[in-house]
């Protein structure tokens, strides 16, 4: 047996006693850095009267499948309980918080929660992405108004400013995309393909796929225009009514009214992107991402998810965001 093990280890180019891809060991120096970063953000959330919650490290697989769909569930780390039921490490914090509020809280009240902890996500092979992500974030549950959206965008900006002086806020609205997809009435497999294409901003592939789908040409052209309709507000606000049909431009008008009410200093940092549809299927309107110079991925993301609670048999509006702590 020892000879066989020796042979297998010799043949493998993977260090069997090292760490799996996508996780790191926190030494004292790195841990202190992350704790100081988290402490700054938690102090901000506490000062605004958000209450801390700690969702469980794992839940039933069906919880994440119900909230985020099969695409999210497939990327969760899953395992069987002793009774044979499937469990998953928490893929995000929003889903267990939504389940918790739906089943255990007074649903006539509004809640403001914050959290700080790890989520676990399977990543594509050879992408070099982390599979354990340390996050801090907030959720406002039970409130839905233009002023709440403005408040959360402002907090999103303030949180990013605690991480760097050189950052960009990207804002979008998923409603135009959802409306156009609804009008096309396409299959689930083609819908997943279109979502992947939008997240990659691959207009060539989108044009090819849409050519294979029956449907209104105006709707398909609108999707093609939507995928690269991004930039500074001043330019987009001049063009959107010329480019999109009224049922889309009306939605965009509502979005731009919100942006107009933001602080001028913040507006200078904002890029608008109507192709920012996100991976989670529960987003319902506003979407957000935060980028820091020289970091090749969004370090913060979030948005409004008014449809999520319906998946747990209750109807509550909600909005929130998460910021990744362990980036270099």
* DSSP per position, 5-69: HHHHHHH--S-TTSPPTT-----HHHHHHHHHHHHHHHHHHHHTTPEE----SEEEHHHHHHHHH
Distance CA 324, CA 304 (A): 18
Place of tokens 């092979």: 125
Q: Is the pLDDT of residue 248 over 90?
A: yes
Confidence at residue 5, expressed as pLDDT on a 0 to 100 scale:
45
Q: Is the pLDDT of residue 12 over 80?
A: no
**Digit-coded pLDDT (tens) for 61-106:** 999 998 888 777 788 999 999 999 999 999 999 999 999 998 887 7
**Digit-coded pLDDT (tens) for 141-172:** 999 999 999 999 999 999 999 999 999 999 99
Distance CA 194, CA 255 (A): 23
Q: Which residue has the higher pLDDT, 320 or 328?
A: 320
Q: pTM of this prediction?
A: 0.90
Helix (H) / strand (E) element for 103: namely: helix 94-104
The DSSP bridge pattern shows strands 132-141 and 86-89 to be unpaired
């Amino acid at each position: 047996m020892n000879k066989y093990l020796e042979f297998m280890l010799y043949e493998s180019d993977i260090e069997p006693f090292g760490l799996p891809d996508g996780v790191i060991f926190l030494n004292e120096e790195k841990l202190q850095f992350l704790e100081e970063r988290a402490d700054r953000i938690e102090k901000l959330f506490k000062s605004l009267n958000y209450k801390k919650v700690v969702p469980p490290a794992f839940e039933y697989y069906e919880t994440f499948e119900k909230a985020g769909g099969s695409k999210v569930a497939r990327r969760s780390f899953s395992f069987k309980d002793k009774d044979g039921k499937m469990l998953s490490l928490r893929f995000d914090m929003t889903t267990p918080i939504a389940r918790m509020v739906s089943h255990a809280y007074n649903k006539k009240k509004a809640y403001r929660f914050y959290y700080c902890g790890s989520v676990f996500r399977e990543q594509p092979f050879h992408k070099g992405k982390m599979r354990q992500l340390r996050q801090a974030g907030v959720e406002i549950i039970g409130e839905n108004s233009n002023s709440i959206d403005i408040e959360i965008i402002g907090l999103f900006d303030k949180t990013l400013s605690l991480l760097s002086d050189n950052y960009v806020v990207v804002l979008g609205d998923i409603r135009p995309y959802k409306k156009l997809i609804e009008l096309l009435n396409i299959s689930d497999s083609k819908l997943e393909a279109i979502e992947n294409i939008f997240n990659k901003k691959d207009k060539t592939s989108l044009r090819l796929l849409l050519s294979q789908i029956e449907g209104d040409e105006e709707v398909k052209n609108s999707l093609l225009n939507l995928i690269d309709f991004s930039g500074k507000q001043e330019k987009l606000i001049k063009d959107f009514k010329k480019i999109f049909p009224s049922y889309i431009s009306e939605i965009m008008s509502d979005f731009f009214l919100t942006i107009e009410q933001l602080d001028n200093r913040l507006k200078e940092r904002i890029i608008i992107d109507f192709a920012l549809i996100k991976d989670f299927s529960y987003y319902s309107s506003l979407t957000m991402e935060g980028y820091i110079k020289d970091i090749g991925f969004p370090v913060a993301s979030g948005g409004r998810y008014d449809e999520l609670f319906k998946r747990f048999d209750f109807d509550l509006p909600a909005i929130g965001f998460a910021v990744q702590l362990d980036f270099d």
